[in-house]
Amino acid sequence: MPATRTIHRALITGMGAVTPIGNDIEEYWEGLRTGRNGIGRVTQWDAAADLVQIAGEVKGFDIEPYLERKVARRTGRFAQFAHAAGVQAMRDGGLEVTDTNRDDIGVVMATSGDVFNMGPEWMAYVERGSRGVDPFIITRMGQHMGAARLARQLGVRGPNTTINTACASGTDALGHALSLIRLGHARAVLVGGAEAMITPLSLSSMGRMGALSKNNDDPAHACRPFDIQRDGFILGEGSGVLLIESEEAALARGARVYGELAGVGWSFDATDDTAPDPEGQALAMTRAMRDAGIEPSQVDYINAHGTSTPLNDRTETHAIKIALGDRDARRVKISSTKSMTGHLAAGAGGIEAVASVLALHHGLVPPTINYEFPDPECDLDITPNVAVEARIDVVMSNSFGLGGQNASAVFRRFQG
């Protein structure tokens, strides 16, 4: 008779964040709490003649407190963000790497890598041939290097995985990490997402697709989820990382517990590359609630995908009504923190998981800023413009990817 496998609960004991509204969790939470705008004109190059000239850039970031300069030069911007947020999460959680635990600490990171930043490398090849090519392209730009660099610098040897499922990636990463903890493949996992896609290529491509806002003259008000004047999302950058541990490991060392990663659900639309399907999105939410063992009536706050595109926000509103039922959909508090940070694409689920857990921890729902003109097709409580105090025991975070991938995560107040 096969042995019975113990299923371990996953507790959140540390967090880190590098975002357009703050470069650690204290600054990030202050920005969320006060409705700080992180969107502005692009400063990384002269975008004055470009179709899209605005983005949510990280400001004042310094990698040197986290990574020595020599290594940083061979580390891509997205991986630098991931490293900083991961180190912050370890410090916040008070977890020290030792010879006895290093094999049981894993890293799961979601990212697109530096795929949209290859232009200069191609130009170097065209102009100088093979001799012009940087020999460290793979270690600087490879998607796997966010997780790999962080694990190597920390000296941890547990499972190391990189996830890319478009904008669902960060929440997909949470699901993979949850499985590692539940099944005992790791006692602790650093999990999150990182992105540095603000490049001429990405803004031009997505702008021509019609996905991005072209409100270049008023960047502070360009990202307006659920508002009827929304015209597209704003690309952001940064990283959010959570330290999750098995209940046994966390309690054994007396760790502070922010909450529990209680469940994750996935689905696929199987309809269209760019047009989301409310049935598919609702299925991910329903599966997440089932995985967490909760009912729709127990969800207190939803951190919405809320991209600020005309189609997405309308579709997500419909999906929430399907998943929760009309009564609970109208009761639950909802907000889109993308209104402040922009959309981090594959990294979105990471910083939004951190936002969700901070909301749970502080009992405060962050606002959806720039909400001025209601859309009758987005008629739920989206917490307009000002944060609201609330009793929060259960939070759901949604991430829906371009292409049809959907993922939802449920966080719960920990009851030992």
Distance CA(365)–CA(32), nearest Å, equals 9
Q: Which amino acid is at 32?
A: L
Q: How far apart are CA 180 and CA 186, in angstroms?
A: 6
Q: Can you name the residues that pair with 239 across neighbouring β-strands?
A: 18, 194
- Maximum Cα interatomic distance, the chain, rounded to a whole number of Å: 70
Q: In the beta sheet, which residues pair with residue 235?
A: 343
- The residue count for the chain: 416
d(Cα 26, Cα 34) in Å, to the nearest integer? 12
Q: How far apart are CA 343 and CA 230, in angstroms?
A: 14
DSSP 220: G
* Ordered alpha helix ranges (H), 191-296: 200-209, 247-252, 278-292
Q: Distance (Å, rounded) from C-alpha 357 to C-alpha 242?
A: 9
Nearest CA to 185 among 157, 160, 158, 161? 158
- What is the spatial distance between Cα 383 and Cα 273, in angstroms, rounded to a whole number? 30
Question: Please, are residues 402 and 274 in contact by the beta-carbon 8 Å criterion?
Answer: yes
Other C-beta atoms within 10 Å of 335: how many?
A: 29
For the annotated catalytic residues, the residue numbers are 167, 305, 343
What's the CA gap between 407 and 290, in Å, rounded? 13
Backbone phi, psi, residue 380, to 5°: -100, 175
